[in-house]
Structures are given as C-alpha cells and as structure tokens.
Amino acid sequence: MALHPILSGAQADRPLLFTGSRVVTAAEFLSRARAVAARLPGAPSALNLCERRDAFIMAFVAMLYRQQVCLLPSSRTSAAISEVKAENPGALAYDDHLIGELTCAVEPRPAIAPQVPAQQVVAIGYTSGSTGAPSPHAKRWLSLAGAAAHNIAEVRGLLGDSSDCVPWIVATVPPQHMYGMEMSVLMPLLGHMAIHAGRPLFPADVSKALDEVPPPRILVSTPVHIRALTEYPFTLPDVALIISATAPLSPELARSAEQRFGAPLLELFGATETCVIAARQTAREATWRPYPGVDLRPAEGGTMAAAPWFAGPTLLPDSLLVREDRRFLVEGRSADVVEVAGKRASLQDLTRRLISIDGVSDAIVFQPDDARRGGVRRLAALVVAEGLNAGEIACRLGAAVDPVFLPRPLLLVPRLPRNELGKLSRSELQRILADCGPEA
C-alpha cells in the first residue's frame, strides 16, 4: 500500500497545499519530499516537532521514504519530549527550521511516491494524558491507510461531489495529534483533497484561512472552536462540511453550527489507540455508526474493538452500549464513572450539566488524586463564569444533580488550561487544585 493516489493519472498537478503565499501541487510536493528524504540523517525514528503544517507533512512523507518511524509526543513540552526520547534511544528531532532549510535548499527529484509496506510501523502516537500518563501506540501503514479510506468515504459521501473535485481543508487542530494527523495529513495525501497549511486559532483567523482557499471547503475543528465560531458576529465564508472530534459535542451546539454555516456537521469517534472508527451527524442522531468492518464487544475496563486494518483487537477505555443494528451509545470512560456514597455518576455528564448553566462558558468536573477525605470520595470543579460566584453556580447545579455529586471545591478560574485540541491534562488540573491550597 503506497501513496499512489497523490500521483495517479491527472492528479499529479492537483493542488495539495496552500502555504500562505502560493499553491503547491502534489507532484511538486513529492519531488521535494523525496529530495529532503535524501538529506535527512539516518536514524530508526524521529520526533516530528514541526508546528507549521506544511513542514510537518513534508517531514512525515520524507520519513516514509527513509522508512523512519514518526514519533508524535502528546505535547511539545520539554518533559513530554524527553520521555519520548528516553523510550526511543537514538531518536532524532525534526522541527520547522530544519525541514524549512532542507526544503528550500534541495534540488527536486522525480516525483515518485514512496512505497510503504502495509505492515511497516510508520508512526507512534501518544495519548493526550487526560486520564493519566501518556501511553504510546504504534501505527502500521495498513492501520493508518485503512482508517483514512473510511474517513475519506464518509466525507466524500456528505459532500456529494465527484472524485474529480478537490475539496480544501482548513484545520484548527495540530497535525501532531491523531485527529489532526488523520484529517489534515492523511486525508489530503490519500483522499484527493488539499490542505491550508495554517492553523488558525481565533474566529477571525479561521475566517481569513477559509477565504484564502476556494470551495468546496471543509472545516476540521473541535467543540471549543466551533462554539466560538457560532458566536462570531461577522460573516464567514461558505463551508461545505464541518468536522468535529476530541470531545463530546452537544446536539444543541451541532444544530447551532449547522445553522450558522449552512452546512452539515460530522462528528467523529475514535482514539489514539484505534484512529477514527465511527461517525454521526450529531444534530439529528444520538447513536454512533461504526465504520464497515469494525466489531465492538464489551470487555473488562472498556470495549474491545477490532477491524481488518487493525494489528489486532484493541481495548478502548470507553464503555459503549452496542445495539443490535451495530450502532452504539457512549456511556462513558471507565475512568469517567465515579461512585460517591454508594451512588454512581458520569463526570462527563456532570460537566455537561455544569456548562449548561447560563453564564458558565467553560468547566470541568474531575476527581482529584487524593479524593478521599474523611472516608468520603470527593469531586472538584474548575469553572469559567464571568459575573457569577461559586455559591450561585453550586446552587444552580444542585437543582440538577444529586447533592452527593456537588463538587467541593468548585473554583472559579479565568481560563482552563486546554491544549491545542481543547483537551485538559489531569496533571494540569491537579496543579491548579494544589495551587489553591489545602483548604480547596
């Protein structure tokens, strides 16, 4: 299995990248990637630390030519990078500066796509650490390409366009994380699509990036960014499809986004362990539709997932309620269900109820590491809510949940420490709680 779809037939001259100043064709990109690969130092693996999306994709494809494993740390903090290097002795690190210099300096070679063995491990992704320490998951080419094929089919089906059409993707998510890797790296490379190299953050930046590429446009984002865009008071360029993942999206926000953009919203379900395995149109359906070939079975600690493109059955930490028609509901993660005073609740559901309070713009309910006090396990909450005090919020939340699940403490903070995907690391939540002192 190789990257032929980039160069098959007339596709060699199709657009692949918009770098901010010009469009790069698939043929030009591959010719330069092949030349860059010849200049990369020899090593079995390397951390892809490129922040610019065009540099990241260049490094990834060059590593495919060299048969190097692309290491994707959970973040670019020095601690995360050091941990990945310690687990992969001899690993190099490629960044924007190195790849940029090589790309400008090399003479292009003939545009021949890399031939990648199906069973070759091409990447190692690390979980986000939202429920504990990041853990590594090796990705064979067959696994990445197999998941990409289903993502592409899902997107093409909703666009309703012929295979000759080249949709442009604008992504607010970084390529280092598996969702960004699937949507903004693999889908353009394998799906006859093109990608804007930027990673716009604020609504005005997203609007500018969308305006810089022609229709049909696909917006790849997260619930945090989608909420900000629905509240943006200015006109946005036409979008043909919105894609969301990384955190649960409420039906209300999905409907608001579809109304705001006049386009369908597709929510994806997956994990670093499996890549994307299911999808739904959240504005009109509650259940998830697994991709063809995906088999889900309950297991100790979550759900066992299997598919023809997997290396083998893989344990997901999510508890899924699978119906006879194969569709499923997400009941929560094994780490998400808490028990207090003999009663059980979902942290995700408690967080949803907290965010639904008028005036609350962001929040998280979690169980601290030292949650046991006086023989009772406690919950904590961090809340962003301008104009409200903690007592008012607790009172309103108390009307919606059992009193034993009211967070103590419930702390007001100016912002939550979300990463580029909108996720929250457990260590950061613990740090904020610790900074508030022993009485928190």
From first to last of the 440 residues of the chain, give the pLDDT tens digit: 444 445 444 467 889 999 988 999 999 999 999 999 999 998 999 999 999 999 999 999 999 999 999 999 987 778 789 999 999 999 999 999 999 999 999 888 888 888 899 999 999 998 765 555 678 999 999 999 999 999 999 999 999 866 678 999 999 999 998 999 999 999 999 988 999 999 998 999 999 999 999 999 999 999 889 999 999 999 999 999 999 998 888 899 999 999 999 999 999 999 989 999 999 999 999 999 999 999 999 998 889 999 999 999 999 988 899 999 999 998 876 667 676 755 667 788 888 889 889 899 899 998 887 654 444 568 999 999 988 999 999 999 988 888 888 998 999 999 998 887 778 888 888 888 888 755 44
One domain, residues 46 and 94:
yes
Structural domain of 193: 4-286
Count: domains in the chain: 3
Does 208 fall in a domain? Answer: yes
Residue 261 lies in a domain: yes
**CA–CA separation, 154 and 169 (whole Å):** 15
Backbone angles phi, psi at 79, to 5 degrees: -65, -45
Both 162 and 44 in a single domain? yes
Q: What is the pLDDT at residue 87? A: 93
Together in a domain, 134 and 239: yes
Q: Assess if residue 71 is contained within a domain.
A: yes
Regarding whether 202 and 113 lie in a shared domain, the answer is yes
Contacts of 104 (CB under 8 A, 6+ apart): none
On whether both 91 and 10 belong to a single domain, the answer is yes
301 and 236 belong to one structural domain: no
At residue 394, the 3 state secondary structure works out as helix
Alpha carbon distances (Å) from 177 to 67, 198, 293, 314, 362: 20, 15, 24, 19, 22
Residues in contact with 149: Cβ distance below 8 Å, sequence separation at least 6, in sequence order: 190
Within a domain: residue 440?
no
| 59 falls within a domain | yes
Contact 238, 218 (CB under 8 A): no
**C-alpha dist (Å) from residue 173 to 403, 414, 418:** 37, 23, 12
Taking alpha carbons only, the member of 46, 305, 289, 312 closest to residue 37 is 46
Any idea which residue has 């509650």 for tokens?
286
User: What count of Cα atoms within 13 Å lies in the side-chain half-sphere of residue 286?
Assistant: 6
The answer to whether residues 393 and 330 belong to one domain is no
What is the pLDDT at residue 3? 45
Query: Domain holding 415: CATH number?
Result: 3.30.300.30
The beta strand positions in 281-361, using DSSP E, are: 289-290, 295-299, 302-306, 314-316, 318-322, 328-333, 337-340, 343-346
Q: What is the CA radius of gyration of the chain?
A: 22
Cα distances (angstroms) measured from residue 440 to each of 66, 185, 216, 367, 371 = 52, 43, 50, 13, 12
Quick check: 169 and 336 in contact, CB under 8 A? no
- Distance between CA atoms of 307 and 233, rounded to whole angstroms? 44
Residues 351 and 215 grouped into a single domain? no
Please report, for the domain that includes residue 229, its CATH number: 3.40.50.12780
Query: Furthest-apart CA pair in the chain: how many Å?
Result: 71
Distances (CA, A) of 87 to 56, 81, 311, 359: 22, 10, 21, 45
Instruction: Tell me, yes or no, whether 317 lies in a domain.
Output: yes
User: Same domain, yes or no, for 111 and 79?
Assistant: yes
**CB 223 within 8 Å of CB 248:** yes
Q: Is residue 291 part of a domain?
A: no
pLDDT of residue 7: 44
* pTM greater than 0.85: no
pLDDT at 347: 85
State the Cα–Cα distance between residues 170 and 199, nearest whole angstrom: 8
User: Considering the domain boundaries, does residue 274 fall inside one?
Assistant: yes
State whether 180 and 98 are in the same domain.
yes
User: Are residues 238 and 161 part of one domain?
Assistant: yes
Return the amino acid letter for 265: L
Rounded Cα–Cα distance for residues 75 and 56 (Å):
15
Same domain, 356 and 331: no
